[in-house]
């Protein structure tokens, strides 16, 4: 099976590493001009039909590892090859208004929000929701820019000019206890498999740690999250891995933040920590193969290496540490690799995570909500 992947970053690299043992071969179509997969055949897309034809000629089936793709490109490919998950998922995930409308329609709670089309509407929304609020452009650039936090409604006009986008979504701040994510795979036959929920620690908007399974998670809460993602998967007739990021509040309730129609950084722990990784399950799903067991072998924590890498020799000396380098040049804020740490108990795992963090330049202190709850 020759699999075409739209996007050619580390997610594509890890897909390929999971897919070679299934005898898959990979051709990547990069649309950014900066492919980094470092594996398989990489083509750089330049809006030329002959190049697209060459890509199509090489692949039986297409998927993507990156959702900031021209929807028209994905639709053009869909006319010639099966694309899983399809262009509809991309279109919705590229537009915060459509994404929130889908959450609303499926009864998936989100933070309170308003859509605005002018500075005056932004000011009114900020007053209505109660500041602070965060205003975001409806469609997101590659760099995650186009956002502003308003501490009071008087900042609306300045924020409107700074974001410089004709439509914004304005969200109330959520007083959350932790950020979590749920990842699930749906097969071509509609079978769904859910990974254990992970707790994620972001710093400056960049994921630093994901830990799963969670020792203090109410089973009912996990079932609610599974219900939300299943509703999304079924509504989109989705095939492949989908990720839903949520806030968990003090009362245990969950509010959906956003979804990603692909394998996700908060699921990298599954490479070593789950019976079947998110990458393998994505490939199984899109090829119509049965899904693999998503359960965790052991408490596992993923530690991202951002901007600068640690010394491989030091990291590999840690017990049950699994290094995953992306073979990229160091650059501030860049995801360069991650370390998966496993341990028989959460207490031992936290010790290992702290030992690992101490070896990585500029790693923030790991802090998980269940430490405070004494679990």
Return residues touching a copy of itself (CB under 8 A).
13, 17, 20-23, 25, 38-39, 275, 284, 288-290, 292-293, 297, 312-313, 316-317, 319-320, 322-327, 337
User: How many angstroms separate the most distant Cα atoms in the chain?
Assistant: 60
Q: How far is CA 119 from the centre of its chain?
A: 31
Kindly state the tokens that stand for 50. Answer: 């002959």
Q: How far is CA 184 from the centre of its chain?
A: 12
Minimum CB distance to a copy of itself, residue 294 (Å): 12
Closest of 193, 304, 273 to residue 241, by C-alpha: 193
The nearer residue to a copy of itself, 20 or 152, going by C-beta atoms, is: 20
CB atoms within 10 A of CB 291: 20
Q: Please give the Cα distance from 87 to 185 (Å, whole number).
A: 17
What angle is formed at CA 270 by the lines to CA 264 and CA 275, rounded to 5 degrees?
140
Contacts 24+ apart (CB under 8 A), 102-109: 102/232, 102/235, 103/256, 105/235, 106/228, 106/231, 106/232, 106/235, 107/231, 108/228, 108/231, 108/232, 108/256, 109/253, 109/254, 109/255, 109/256
Q: Please give the Cα distance from 131 to 304 (Å, whole number).
A: 32
The nearer residue to a copy of itself, 101 or 312, going by C-beta atoms, is: 312
Minimum CB distance to a copy of itself, residue 157 (Å): 48
Q: Please give the Cα distance from 122 to 137 (Å, whole number).
A: 12
Q: Please give the Cα distance from 200 to 248 (Å, whole number).
A: 11
The nearer residue to a copy of itself, 93 or 185, going by C-beta atoms, is: 185
The nearer residue to a copy of itself, 88 or 284, going by C-beta atoms, is: 284
Q: Is 128 helix (H, G, I), strand (E, B) or coil?
A: helix
The nearer residue to a copy of itself, 243 or 294, going by C-beta atoms, is: 294
Q: What residues are designated binding site for ATP?
A: 96, 136, 141-147, 171-174, 179, 202, 257-258
The nearer residue to a copy of itself, 17 or 241, going by C-beta atoms, is: 17
Kindly state the tokens that stand for 331. Answer: 């650059």
Minimum CB distance to a copy of itself, residue 203 (Å): 24
Minimum CB distance to a copy of itself, residue 282 (Å): 14
Minimum CB distance to a copy of itself, residue 292 (Å): 7
The nearer residue to a copy of itself, 167 or 325, going by C-beta atoms, is: 325
Residue 139 contacts residue 258 (beta carbons within 8 Å): no
Residue 100 contacts residue 77 (beta carbons within 8 Å): no
Q: What backbone torsions phi and psi does residue 280 show, to the nearest 5 degrees?
A: -65, -40
Minimum CB distance to a copy of itself, residue 23 (Å): 4
Q: Please give the Cα distance from 307 to 304 (Å, whole number).
A: 10
Q: What residues are designated binding site?
A: 96, 136, 141-147, 171-174, 179, 202, 257-258
Task: List beta partners, residue 186.
Answer: 192, 240
Kindly state the tokens that stand for 237. Answer: 């007739």
The nearer residue to a copy of itself, 116 or 349, going by C-beta atoms, is: 349
The nearer residue to a copy of itself, 13 or 100, going by C-beta atoms, is: 13
Task: List beta partners, residue 193.
Answer: 185
Minimum CB distance to a copy of itself, residue 67 (Å): 24
Minimum CB distance to a copy of itself, residue 212 (Å): 17
Minimum CB distance to a copy of itself, residue 275 (Å): 6
């Amino acid at each position: 099976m020759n699999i075409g992947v739209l996007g050619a970053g580390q997610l594509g690299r890890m897909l390929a590493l999971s897919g070679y043992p299934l005898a898959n071969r990979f051709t990547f179509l990069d649309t950014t001009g900066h492919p980094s997969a470092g594996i398989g055949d990489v083509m750089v897309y330049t809006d030329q039909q002959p190049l697209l034809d060459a890509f199509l000629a090489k692949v039986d089936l297409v998927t993507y590892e990156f959702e900031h793709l021209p929807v028209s490109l994905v639709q053009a490919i869909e006319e010639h090859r099966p694309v899983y998950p399809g262009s509809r998922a991309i279109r919705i995930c590229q537009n915060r208004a459509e994404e929130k409308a889908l959450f609303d329609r499926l009864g998936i709670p989100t933070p309170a929000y308003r859509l605005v089309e002018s500075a005056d509407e932004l000011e009114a929304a900020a007053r209505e929701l109660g500041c602070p609020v965060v205003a975001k452009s409806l469609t997101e650039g590659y760099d995650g820019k186009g956002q502003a936090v308003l501490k009071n409604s008087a900042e609306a006009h300045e924020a409107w000019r700074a974001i410089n986008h004709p439509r914004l979504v304005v969200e109330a701040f959520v007083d959350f206890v932790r950020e979590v994510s749920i990842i699930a795979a749906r097969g071509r036959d509609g079978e769904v498999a859910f990974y254990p929920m992970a707790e994620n620690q972001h710093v400056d908007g960049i994921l630093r740690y994901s830990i799963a399974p969670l020792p203090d998670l109410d089973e009912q809460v996990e079932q609610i999250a599974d219900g939300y993602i299943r509703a999304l998967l079924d509504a989109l007739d989705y095939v492949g891995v989908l990720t839903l990021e949520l806030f968990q509040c003090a009362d245990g309730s969950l509010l959906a933040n956003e979804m990603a129609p692909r394998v996700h950084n908060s699921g990298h722990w599954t490479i070593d920590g789950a019976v079947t990784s998110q990458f393998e399950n994505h490939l199984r799903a899109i090829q119509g193969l049965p899904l693999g067991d998503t359960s965790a072998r052991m408490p596992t924590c993923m530690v991202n290496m951002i901007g600068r890498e640690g010394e491989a020799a030091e990291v590999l000396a840690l017990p049950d540490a699994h290094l995953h380098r992306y073979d990229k040049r160091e650059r501030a804020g860049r995801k360069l690799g991650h370390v998966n740490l496993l341990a028989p108990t959460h207490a031992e795992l936290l010790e290992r995570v702290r030992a690992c963090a101490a070896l990585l330049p500029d790693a923030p202190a790991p802090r998980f909500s269940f430490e405070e709850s004494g679990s």
